Amino acid sequence: MITDSDLVAALTASLLPQGVAVAAQIVAPPKGDPPEVEASAVQRAIPQRRAEFHSGRDAARRAMVHLGVTPQPVPMANDRAPVWPEGLVGSITHADGMCIAAVALSTTLAGIGIDLEPAAPLPRELIAEVTTPPERTWLQDQPEAERGLMARLIFSAKEAAYKAQYPLSQSLFGFDGMTLHIDRDTARFTARFTAPQGPFARGQTLAGRYVHAAGVLVTAVTIGHDAARGNRE
């Protein structure tokens, strides 16, 4: 279980540009009554899911305070994505008892995606589902003892990239909708669209960063306002 929220927040903030506020906290049942628009979204969920949901929303409001804006509810849309207050973009993630939220002004960025994972190998049975053939070739070139963790990195990076682009594309697609290039020397990656998705062209890339420290793996992707103009390579 991840227990150091200050460390997790600092690791996440190190991946993001200026103008993005981050908050992290341990998942716990809400203190007091959550906003009705949030409580109604998970009223039928199991207690653990409710705790994760409300902790993530609490972290989002703390991030809003850090950003210097009035904290507001973050409802859940029918597609389960967060509905950010007007003028804000953001992302929420949780794993192993910890949640993180990152928030920025929509004038600063067009999209943010973050993902938190335990620094543990991805289960073998998921690798074929998560990875594309070029990614599996790359995995085979990694030291054998590290391949499971690198597969987890691919999973996490795709999650972060998907979250960042979804508010712009409103497109649902699987793990084969992007293929990754990871540079372990710089702890950076790019996620390339394998098909057109909303404003994103086939071949367009999103840039991300990752950190592996203190038993966690955190990935982050941000999208600038020029993204819709494309960056085909």
Determine the pLDDT at residue 61: 97
Grade residue 125 by pLDDT with cuts at 50, 70 and 90: very high
Determine the pLDDT at residue 31: 86
Is residue 232 scored above 70 in pLDDT?
no
Domain that holds residue 64: 5-109
User: How much is the pTM?
Assistant: 0.95
Q: Which CATH number belongs to the domain containing residue 105 in this structure?
A: 3.90.470.20
In a domain, 144, yes or no: yes
Residues 130 and 209 in one domain: yes
In a domain, 103, yes or no: yes
3-state secondary structure of 126: helix
186 touches 158 (CB < 8 A): no
Determine the pLDDT at residue 141: 97
In a domain, 115, yes or no: no
Residues 145 and 80 in one domain: no
Tokens of 186: 């710089």
In a domain, 114, yes or no: no
Give mean pLDDT, residues 66-91: 96
Binding-site residue numbers are 49, 57, 93-94, 115, 117, 159, 163
From 90, 109, 128, the end of a domain falls on 109
Q: How many other C-beta atoms are found inside a 10 Å radius of the C-beta of residue 87?
A: 10
Q: Which CATH number belongs to the domain containing residue 164 in this structure?
A: 3.90.470
Grade residue 229 by pLDDT with cuts at 50, 70 and 90: low
Closest CA to 176 of 136, 120, 119: 136
In a domain, 160, yes or no: yes
Residues 221 and 162 in one domain: yes
Average pLDDT, the chain: 95
d(CA 31, CA 129): 39
Residues 153 and 219 in one domain: yes
Residues 155 and 80 in one domain: no
Binding-site residue numbers for Mg(2+) are 115, 117
From 45, 74, 109, the end of a domain falls on 109
Is residue 99 scored above 50 in pLDDT?
yes
Closest CA to 132 of 67, 78, 172, 192: 192
121 touches 151 (CB < 8 A): yes
Give mean pLDDT, residues 157-171: 96
Residues 94 and 125 in one domain: no
Residues 210 and 138 in one domain: yes
Residues 102 and 127 in one domain: no
In a domain, 35, yes or no: yes
Give mean pLDDT, residues 66-95: 96
95 touches 116 (CB < 8 A): yes
27 touches 117 (CB < 8 A): no
Share of the chain above pLDDT 70, in %: 97
| Helix, strand, coil distribution of the chain in percent, nearest 5 | 35, 25, 35
Residues 91 and 154 in one domain: no
Is residue 1 scored above 90 in pLDDT?
no
Grade residue 5 by pLDDT with cuts at 50, 70 and 90: very high
Q: What is the pLDDT of residues 8-34, one digit of tens each?
A: 999 999 999 999 999 999 999 988 889
Residues 125 and 95 in one domain: no
Grade residue 231 by pLDDT with cuts at 50, 70 and 90: low
Residues 52 and 21 in one domain: yes
d(CA 86, CA 166): 17
Count of domains forming the chain = 2
Q: Of 57-71, 107-121, 137-151, 214-228, give the lowest mean pLDDT range.
A: 214-228
d(CA 153, CA 180): 10
d(CA 8, CA 91): 15
From 109, 144, 162, the end of a domain falls on 109
Is residue 121 scored above 70 in pLDDT?
yes
Please give the DSSP secondary-structure letter assigned to residue 51: H
β-strands 20-26, 188-193: how paired?
Answer: unpaired
Closest CA to 164 of 229, 109, 226: 109
User: Phi and psi dihedrals of 117, rounded to 5?
Assistant: -140, 150
Binding-site residue numbers for CoA are 49, 57, 93-94, 115, 159, 163
Residues 102 and 148 in one domain: no
Determine the pLDDT at residue 171: 93
In a domain, 185, yes or no: yes
Closest CA to 13 of 138, 150, 106, 112: 112
3-state secondary structure of 156: helix
In a domain, 51, yes or no: yes
d(CA 124, CA 103): 34
